[in-house]
Amino acid sequence: MPIAQRSSSGAGWSIARQLFVLQVLVVAALVAIGTAGTVLIVLDDAEQAAIDDVTDIAETVARSPTVVDAVRRPAPATILQPYAESVRTATGTDFVVVMAPDRTRYTHRTPSLIGKPFIGSIDGALAGGTVVETSVGTLGESVRTVVPVKDETGKVIALVSVGITTDAINQKLVGRTPAVAIPTALALLLAAAGSWLLSRRLRRQTHGLGPAEMTRMYEYHDAVLHSVREGLVVADREGRVTLVNDEGRRLLGDDLPEEVRDLIAARAAVADEPVLAGDRVLVANQRVIRSEGQTIGTVLTLRDHTELRELTGELDSVRGLTEALRAQAHEAANRLHTVLTLVELGRTGEAVDLATAELAVAQQLTDQVMGALDEPAVAALLLGKSAQAGERGVELIVDEASRIEGTRLPSRDLLTVVGNLVDNALEAVAGTEPPRRVTVLVLDTDGVVLVRVGDTGPGIPAGAFRRGWSTKAQGRGIGLSLVRQVADRHGGDIEVSGSTITVRLPAAS
């Protein structure tokens, strides 16, 4: 079955594109609403300003002595028409009309309309007030005001109407359009640019995925994370753990072991690094996550190698014993051949002395170990290590003060401590100048099991019990770390002096 690949031109838009379109629509709607509100406010302000202007002009004209005196004379139009036109021209209004109380015009910008009735409301002005209205007259729709002209007694003797057509007001608004349009266009342009930059950044961060693809990817990844048989720990760029899968929680527990925290804090790539987590031996692989040249976190995978390490250790022990037994068998065959040759030569006394001497040496070590250690597993371990040491040209000495009788310390833990310390000592003296010697003391006294292993090697450096330190050339051992783990579990302590390691393990009562 071919593997399906994601297409960037799939059924749906990416999140970045959807966000960009949504932002543009929202911003455009907001700008349109704001612009409409601004236009309405400006229009209302322009109309109110026109009303205020024509009212002020009308009241000024009505109080003018020229107007008051002229309306009392015969043929007032001859005086008022030039005056009214000069006021209209000077103020930029569309008409200035002076009329009699019966609506008869004395003035008008169209001379043919002089003497004809005024079109509009005047009742309020005849009563001594002010009329303000928007109505249609001879010049079209206009905003106008009508005020009374009074004599010294307060009697209304004439009316003055001043107006500005709606077209004139609109023309002024059109002239102000750039003041509104330019900021609106700039706002739209800036909003579109900001939305585009944000969508571009989001596209990089989401890799152009759409919502459905991201949902499926989350579901797939979540299922994978919880189904894999390896522990997984994800940390951010600050070293904070952001995700631990089910297997990781099982292996590490609720709190991260110190060695795992150190690995994460180092933020360096590692491959097949052994770490200890409680009673478990884990193999760690860590990868540094980078994006656009920046470190954004680490991914740590953990595999449980506890049983494998135990089996490997047992296999190494068996292999070592096999090699030692093979060497011993070869050596015994040589000695037996020598004894038989001496017998054939008639030198039976020398043959007997040689055979009994070899048996005495072997039996002496066996008797010493078995007699001192009432722990068959430890005794067998030391006898096997003695054979390995002999094969390597190293003398393994079990201190005569060694004594264990019925300790409650688990045999497995005791074997871990003794076996790893002896192995480390054998490795330490390998390749050194003779004499190559390893000394072992195992003593149970006052409820504390003391294990002391010394050698003639170069000594043990500081930090030997940290993860990964080893006397081996590749430097990837965990033997001493396992010793430290056992000591910590039993509340014991470890003392290092030169090439001698002393471990004290309180035994359960």
Backbone angles phi, psi at 375, to 5 degrees: -140, 95
**Sorting pLDDT into bands at 50, 70 and 90, what band is 317?**
low
pLDDT value, residue 9? 42
Distance CA 258, CA 184 (A): 60
- Which class would CATH give 35-175? alpha beta
Q: How far apart are CA 204 and CA 292, in angstroms?
A: 10
Position with higher pLDDT, 320 vs 152: 152
Q: Which of 4-18, 65-79, 150-164, 398-412 has the lowest mean pLDDT?
A: 4-18
Most confident of 168-172, 208-212, 467-471, 495-499: 495-499
Q: How far is CA 482 from CA 120, 132, 270, 463, in A?
A: 109, 101, 20, 14
Look at residue 159 in the predicted model and tell me its pLDDT: 92
Q: What is the pLDDT of residues 245-280, one digit of tens each?
A: 888 888 888 788 877 888 888 888 888 777 777 767
pLDDT band at 358 (very low <50, low <70, confident <90, very high): low
* Residue/partner pairs of 187-193 with CB below 8 Å, 24 or more apart: 187/27, 187/31, 188/27, 188/28, 188/31, 191/23, 191/24, 191/27, 191/28, 191/31, 192/24, 192/27
CATH 3.30.565.10 domain span(s) along the chain: 308-506
Q: What is the pLDDT of residue 11?
A: 47
Q: How confident is the model at residue 183 (pLDDT cuts 50, 70, 90)?
A: confident
Are 482 and 464 within 8 A, CB to CB? no
CA atoms within 13 A on the CB side of 17: 11
In contact, 399 and 382? CB cutoff 8 Å: no
Under a CB-based contact definition with an 8 Å cutoff, are residues 237 and 229 in contact? no
Yes or no: say if 395 and 456 are a contact pair by the CB < 8 Å rule: no
Check residues 434 and 222 and name the one with the higher pLDDT: 434
Phi, psi of 448 (to 5 degrees): -125, 125
| For residues 293-315, average pLDDT | 73
Mean pLDDT of the chain: 77
8 A C-beta contact, residue 404 and residue 375: yes
Q: How far apart are CA 146 and CA 51, in angstroms?
A: 11
Q: Which residues pair with 459 in a beta bridge?
A: none
Q: How confident is the model at residue 165 (pLDDT cuts 50, 70, 90)?
A: confident
The CATH 3.30.450.20 domain(s) of the chain lie at 35-175, 228-304
The lowest-confidence range among 94-108, 198-212, 229-243, 469-483 is 469-483
Segment 149-168 shows an average pLDDT of 85
pLDDT at res. 474: 44
DSSP-derived pairing of the beta strands 270-277 and 280-291: antiparallel
**Which is more confidently placed, 202 or 482?**
482
- Segments in 131-232 forming alpha helices (H): 166-175, 177-206, 211-227
Cα–Cα distance between 36 and 45 in angstroms, integer? Answer: 14
> Above pLDDT 70, what percent of the chain?
75
Whether a cis peptide bond, with omega within 30° of 0, leads into 74 is no
Assign a CATH topology to domain 228-304: Beta-Lactamase (3.30.450)
CATH tag, 308-506: 3.30.565.10
